[in-house]
Amino acid sequence: MATASQIQLRITGMHCAGCVGRVEQALRGVSGVREVSVQLMTESAAVTAESASDLRPELLKAVRAAGYDAEVTSGADPFAALGADDSAHREQLRRGRQALIQAIGLVLPILAVDHFRHDLWGHDPASQVSALLLELILLVMLALSPAGAPILVSGLRAIVFRTANMDLLITMGFTVALASSIYGTFIARDDSFVHIHAAAMILGLVCVGRYLETGARGRASAAMSALARRAPKTALVRRDGQAVSIPVARLQPGDVVVVPPHSGIPADGEIVDGSAAIDESLMTGEPMPVTRSVGDRVLGGTLVVEGRIDIRVTATGAQAALGRIAQLVAKAQSGKTAMQRLADRVAAVFTPIVIIAAALTFAAWLAVYGRGALSDAARAAIAVLVVACPCALGLATPVVVMVASGAAALRGILVRDAAMLEAMSRVDTVVWDKTGTITAGTPSVQRVVTFGTLTETDVLQLAASAQLLSPHPLAKAIVAHARRMGLSPAAPAHFESVPGAGVVAGFSRSEGGAPADILVGSEKLLASRGVTVPESGEPVAQTHAWVAANGAVVARIELTDTIRPSARDAVRRLSALGMRSEMLTGDHAAAAHGIAEAAGIDTLHAGMDPAGKVARIERLKRGGCFVAMVGDGVNDAAALAAADVGIAFATGADVAGEAAGINLIGSTPHLVADAAELAQRSVRIIRQNLFWAFIYNVLMIPLAAVGRLPPAVAAGAMMISSLTVVLNALRLKGSGRSSNTEK
């Protein structure tokens, strides 16, 4: 099977869920397309296609044939996919403001003429026709102005392209009102048929609603804009001994960039000159600036607080850490929850149902009240067309996902997919790894107990050399301790990491007869290699690693790790949300028990290798539990993948790991509780929005059908309905933030 490629499109002209459905249908009709996800909030489409051919021309043609405009954004600034283009949003607001001013400038005169028509023109029929003609002229000007034309053209295009959207309903309502008014003015000479003021109010209120909605959407995407602002737009690059300013998009790996004080670092790189205090909070969660100097790695999006450095660029754009974070957020926003898919299916048939309901309303009025009720029938049909609001249904879920994922990203919670928010809200069991999650992951060597003739220094040299290539925190602690003792560990000739157990290392024998085969790890590792652990006669409560050389145990290295300050509070908060906690660790029970007790975790499973952790998670799932696994990603990839929700502690450079559905930057347990609270509140607000969108239409459409809702009021109600779901979602911007921080 050919590998798939991702193509990002920006779509313009969408206004409701009906538009989304039409664009998705058009894109799916292109041969070679596997998956399509269109988002109304970000005005974007994510297309998974066969990579063997370039489908971009066909995709653009399909979107335009459906009545919308599109452009390809793949390969561009990764923040563009997040809707973080401030200039585009400002342009939307500017056009919306102009349309609103023009609408007010034409609607108010229409309402004034309509209100004072009898006072200023008298009751003479000919004079009344003149007044109504003036109103009609103003109404046509409104329809042809930038305030009304885009709405009506969109509705007409929907007819041409045989689709159905909100603009079609507005266009039909406006057209019926205009036709009825012309009939009442020039043919029937009956004011009861005249709905000029209603037609004007329909377009005017739609302009008001769309302007307010654009502003509210801007607030919803403010978090992504803030993330985008962390990426500098220009960089000072050394060229022939001079610092030359160029756009960041033109940076290439290998370029040397000058970063002065109080400036953002434009790309990932390595410091080649100077030193600086750098704010890395976005990438590591560390609130205090960190000193970096020659040879240290730095990440784009971090800020030089003090000092000046030159860096050699190693990664730019989408390959850099900040770009990967941007892509994660974009992916989360392009995905759809199960609730959104249901809402989209309903919205796809909503507009045709409303049109049928309006036609039935018109027919029912005539059937019940006869031709004498023709004007009332038209008024009721107009109200049904205008009051129906597919927008609220289409926005109910994506606006919440946008606000939640953006707000979460600024707090160091990176949600890989929108479905993860929904899944996290269902979690009832949180399984914690110990080292690097509940504990700080920075253990230190407390003592070395030797067996045999080797000295403590000899043992540390062997153990550090054997573990030099291991990424595990315990291995790093032993290597660091050996170096502090003045030793110089040497890389082994042969190295094997045994997940959850330790390492096996091989060295070439020296003339002095140094040991050739070294084991460092758990009793289980030694037993698997036929090595017997001696009885020491004393209890070992600390975390420890056994060291064996050439088939015999030579030492036990004891280490201690500290519990993270926020661990106990995080467990308490999760419990308050209905989530119980368990701890799974490869460490022995005596060492793990104290950590679990300090964290407030009652259920502990010790001595577990990666396969054992997976088995425990699968057993919990078979028992009906919905499980989240929290790990540091070193030995937890299988367990993270096995859980319903995988949560990994990571730095900005590590967020691309595929096993976890949620990445936490900052490695602090309180972020797990923050993520759970945010997920539960997000799903609660999605349900509120869907309920509101449903109940609004259930109540308002019948009211309009029986004539209890004038068309102008119906247009106002439709506007308020859309705004309600957006404003309700904005309440998430202040949720999920914990006051707990690691000290």
Give the residues across from 277 on adjacent strands: 291, 306
Question: What is the spatial distance between Cα 636 and Cα 642, in angstroms, rounded to a whole number?
Answer: 10
In the numeric block, which tokens belong to residue 281? 């909070």
Of 62, 20, 60, the closest CA to residue 391 belongs to: 20
Question: What is the spatial distance between Cα 330 and Cα 340, in angstroms, rounded to a whole number?
Answer: 17
In one-letter notation, the amino acid at residue 526 is L
C-beta of residue 407 within 8 angstroms of C-beta of residue 414: no
Question: What is the spatial distance between Cα 298 and Cα 281, in angstroms, rounded to a whole number?
Answer: 12
Dihedral over Cα of 483, 486, 491, 497: its sign: negative
Q: Which residue has the tokens 């096996």?
A: 504
Of 13, 169, 18, the closest CA to residue 718 belongs to: 169
φ, ψ at 480 (rounded to 5°):
-65, -40
How far from the centroid of its chain's Cα atoms is residue 543's Cα?
Answer: 38
**Strand 552-560 and strand 242-247: pairing?**
unpaired
Alpha-carbon distances, residue 638 vs 306, 631, 648, 723 (angstroms): 42, 10, 12, 44
Is residue 409 classed as helix, strand or coil in its secondary structure? helix
Give the max Cα distance, the chain: 122
**Residues involved in catalysis:** 433
Question: What is the spatial distance between Cα 161 and Cα 483, in angstroms, rounded to a whole number?
Answer: 72
In the numeric block, which tokens belong to residue 391? 């927008």
In the numeric block, which tokens belong to residue 297? 């790695």
C-beta of residue 110 within 8 angstroms of C-beta of residue 197: yes
Ramachandran region, residue 666 (left: φ > 0; alpha: ψ -120 to 50; beta: rest): left
In the numeric block, which tokens belong to residue 270? 């390595």
Of 609, 605, 505, the closest CA to residue 547 belongs to: 505
Angle between helices 374-387 and 196-220 (to 10 degrees): 10
The per-residue DSSP string of 234-269 comes to EEEEEETTEEEEEEGGG--TT-EEEE-TTEE--SEE
Which letter, b or e, does each residue of 166-199 get, where b requires 16 or more Cβ atoms within 10 Å of its Cβ? bbbbbbbbbbbbbebbebbbeeeeeeebbbbbbb
Q: 529 Cβ partners below 8 Å, 6+ apart? A: 504, 519, 548, 551
Provide the strand spans (E) within 369-501.
413-415, 429-433, 444-450, 494-498
